[in-house]
Structure 1
Amino acid sequence: MIDADIVVVGGGIVGLSTAMQLTERFPGLEVLVLEKEAALATHQTGHNSGVIHAGVYYQPGSLKARFCRDGVAATIAFCREHGLPFEQCGKLLVATDAAELERMDALLARSRDNGLALERLDAAELRRREPNIAGVGALFVPSTGIVDYAQVARKMAEVVQTRGGRIRLSAPVTAMREDANGVTVEAGGGTVRARRAVVCGGLMADRLARMCGVDLDFRIVPFRGEYYRLPPARNDVVSHLIYPIPDPALPFLGVHLTRMIGRYVTVGPNAVLAFAREGYRFADVSPRDVAEMVAYSGFRRVIRAHLASGLSEMANSLSKRRYLALCRRYCPSLTVEELLPHPAGVRAQAVMADGTLVHDFLVRQTARTVHVCNAPSPAATSSIPIGRHVADQVADSFGLKAA
């Protein structure tokens, strides 16, 4: 018995965007979304900074660069269509010394290669626009915005359901088997039979892909991003999003000030190795997750390559004053008392066996399954183009004809 034409595993924003576009492109197609938690968008989608990224950092021609640029317009159009709040407040990338100013100019050249219009500011203009921010120069990115991605994901789910798609919560996948006639999924204590499957597993992407026989040349390594929140009295400390100039030798963007759609300001995130795939607190440890990481050669290589920065991030995590020092480089008026608790997030980062981080989105497939294996930031911004790309692969690989 067939329960669905296509089962989508994962109720985050990428899985829901994919389901939404499948139901739009193929009316009458029976689509079932399986989510292991009791609510949608509870992991990466619900624990990110809420930034609508412009696509400044990404390699020209990469999926990230293309999908992020297209995703800005698609996200804003979706919010307008469904009455969801968003704001294009713009972002300032702030250089605090001569070395960062040189990297800033290289970033400006890359952004132009990606078709983005940025404005270069000197120190005086930076101070005029942001009196609380200190720097020797900055790049202004006008298209950057803010939104609540969990809210966007829930609206996508509503769209899926109005088109006849189904969503099943509290249904963790424990096994998947593919045969010549379809895919069998053991989930939530029951069995689902589908003709095809799309897997958007986030932090569990590699384990789900392994169930389907995907040849794994990568593993997911979790990195926790810890945030603080400023008190209400500092809600107006900045008018834009404030980011440091990223160090190309490091894999993450650095601690920044983010205006949130809820009208408050967060500080963060850092990037600390998590000892559990869903380890939102420092004390969260999964023996299985730790054992898998230590046994994987790619993990050992990436740790060796970034040992100094990793230890520094760990120290910053344990010391609020060290964390504050990162922010005071460009916002010197902040005090340690103003760093209030805020929920952390965990980033699912694919790492290759040679220790290199997978920087681009990564999609793999078998005869009857498609897997989104690596979708870190800016996946939320890019969720609609990613879903479109996956729907294209489903149509091409499985011979589906759009209505």
Structure 2
Amino acid sequence: METLQTDLVVIGAGVVGLAVARELALAGQEVIVLEQGAQFGEGISSRNSEVIHGGIYYPAGSLKARFCLEGRELLYGYCQTHPVAHRQTGKWIIASHDRQRGPLERVYDSAAANGVALEVAEGEALCRALPGVQAVAGLYSPRTGIISSHELMVSLLGELESAGGQLVCRAPVIAVTSDEGGHTLTVGGEMPCRLACKRVVNAAGLGATPLAGNWQGYDPGFCPPAWYARGVYFSYSGRHPFDTLVYPVPEPGGLGVHLTLDLAGQARFGPDVEWIPAPDVTVDPGRRQAFVDSIKQWWPALEPDRLQPAYAGIRPKLAGPEAGFVDFLIQDESDHGVPGLVHLFGIESPGLTSCLAIARHVKSLMA
């Protein structure tokens, strides 16, 4: 089998992998991105809410808080200078009854600790802002928005290639060996080969943990466990009264069944949270009734027959349903002792919002 040489390999061509590869290529590195799928962005990056998050929910000082806040501003700036469709829609977080006031106050405190200003509304002011919504109190996040993740990835890939980088699809990484001489990747697919490099970034999304668990020369004791939380989305056909996003207060494992908008203005609801043993993006139409029951708590005018199964995404969790908050896990040589190796684990929400900030961080680790 032929062995090819390059400077740096990024494994995974989702939005984070492409952002990292672009950042390193623009810094003058010779970069090859290996993607097991037929094209870029077929995994987590194409199965999310496409929301630019405000940086509200995460503990102050965490990587999620830091990268979400930095990434949000980088992303808005990027969209203004590149052909990436987006809109700053704003978002309401609501308490639909008095029992949720406490959790809503905790959201406000968390946002304040992160330096995120939220507007508070009750009574008539809230009714004017969200007509038809049943809520006793709400918090408004003006810097939340939506983005075309596909257009973002197309733009990142274009800049990567303009800087001399290369994307190779249908190129699954079967095995990796790391030693004093660098890293050797065994690549399968249509043109199997070995690829030798000095540095490698594991940005394989759902596959990052399984790949690291079989990585020769990397102590498996540093590899976190893999948990999977499926989130299902239902689209809402026809007209609706919303021009902003609406979230109930968070629930364990996620942010609750919320309303988001696509760039054409169509409403969709989700994701819910379902813990599963292995990645599976099947959408069970039977989950619709649970959606109806949840949504009607705050939007009584919902017409259930207009809810249609849309798609499902998988969150790559690093701990199970009882664990509470778990941060991104980004490992480099200072953690595991392997020179030139960075693992990106548990890059779930707000990974899309954070992608450009994560890329800058990885570049600093590779410096």
Same structural fold, with TM-score higher than 0.5 when normalized by the shorter chain: yes
Structure 1 residues 231, 8: closer, same or farther in 2, change over 3 A?
same
Matched, 1:21 2:23: yes
Alignment of 1:365-376 (within 5 A): 365=332, 366-376=338-348
CA distance in 1, matches of 2:111, 2:76: 20
Pick from 209, 216, 221: which aligns with 2:222? Answer: 216
CA distance in 1, matches of 2:277, 2:116: 38
Secondary structure class of the residue paired with 2:239: helix
8 A contact 1:349–1:357 mirrored in 2: no
Aligned to 1:233: 239
Aligned to 1:44: 44
CA distance in 2, matches of 1:323, 1:262: 22
Matched, 1:194 2:197: yes
Aligned to 2:9: 7
CA distance in 2, matches of 1:43, 1:231: 25
Matched, 1:344 2:326: no
Aligned to 1:260: 262
> Which deviates more, 327-336 or 50-59?
327-336
**How far is the alpha carbon of 1:217 from its aligned partner?**
5.0
Aligned to 2:295: 327
8 A contact 1:49–1:258 mirrored in 2: yes
TM-score (norm 2): 0.92
Aligned to 2:335: none
TM-score (norm 1): 0.84
Structure 1 residues 217, 35: closer, same or farther in 2, change over 3 A?
closer
**How far is the alpha carbon of 1:275 from its aligned partner?**
4.1
Secondary structure class of the residue paired with 1:94: strand
Structure 1 residues 41, 357: closer, same or farther in 2, change over 3 A?
farther
Paired AA for residue 196 in structure 2: R
Matched, 1:243 2:247: yes
Structure 1 residues 20, 81: closer, same or farther in 2, change over 3 A?
same
> Which deviates more, 39-48 or 266-275?
266-275
Specify every segment of 5 or more residues in structure 2 that has no aligned partner in the other structure, as ranges. 333-337
8 A contact 2:90–2:140 mirrored in 1: yes
Aligned to 1:296: none
CA distance in 1, matches of 2:287, 2:231: 15
Paired AA for residue 49 in structure 2: S
Aligned to 1:130: 130
Paired AA for residue 6 in structure 2: A
Residues 242-285 of structure 1 show CA distances to partners (whole Å, capped at 9, x for unaligned) of 000114xx1211000001123211111101123432x10058xx
8 A contact 2:232–2:283 mirrored in 1: no
RMSD after superposition:
1.7
8 A contact 1:182–1:193 mirrored in 2: yes
Residues 81-124 of structure 1 show CA distances to partners (whole Å, capped at 9, x for unaligned) of 11211111100001011121122122112211101111000032
**How far is the alpha carbon of 1:224 from its aligned partner?**
1.1
CA distance in 1, matches of 2:21, 2:167: 10
CA distance in 2, matches of 1:331, 1:164: 51
Paired AA for residue 170 in structure 2: S
Matched, 1:381 2:344: no
**How far is the alpha carbon of 1:2 from its aligned partner?**
5.1
CA distance in 2, matches of 1:367, 1:356: 31
Q: Percent identity?
A: 30
Alignment of 1:3-402 (within 5 A): 3-25=5-27, 27=28, 29-187=29-187, 188=189, 189-212=192-215, 213-214=218-219, 215-216=221-222, 218-234=224-240, 237-247=241-251, 250-277=252-279, 279-281=280-282, 318-351=286-319, 356=323, 359-365=326-332, 366-395=338-367
Structure 1 residues 239, 282: closer, same or farther in 2, change over 3 A?
closer
CA distance in 2, matches of 1:369, 1:68: 23
How many residues of Structure 1 are paired with residues of Structure 2 in the alignment? 354
Structure 1 residues 199, 186: closer, same or farther in 2, change over 3 A?
same
Secondary structure class of the residue paired with 1:36: coil
Aligned to 1:288: none
CA distance in 2, matches of 1:394, 1:211: 23
CA distance in 1, matches of 2:180, 2:350: 36
8 A contact 1:2–1:195 mirrored in 2: no
8 A contact 1:197–1:370 mirrored in 2: yes
CA distance in 2, matches of 1:227, 1:240: 17
8 A contact 1:184–1:194 mirrored in 2: yes
Structure 1 residues 43, 370: closer, same or farther in 2, change over 3 A?
same
> Which deviates more, 54-63 or 268-277?
268-277
Secondary structure class of the residue paired with 1:359: coil
CA distance in 2, matches of 1:254, 1:358: 15
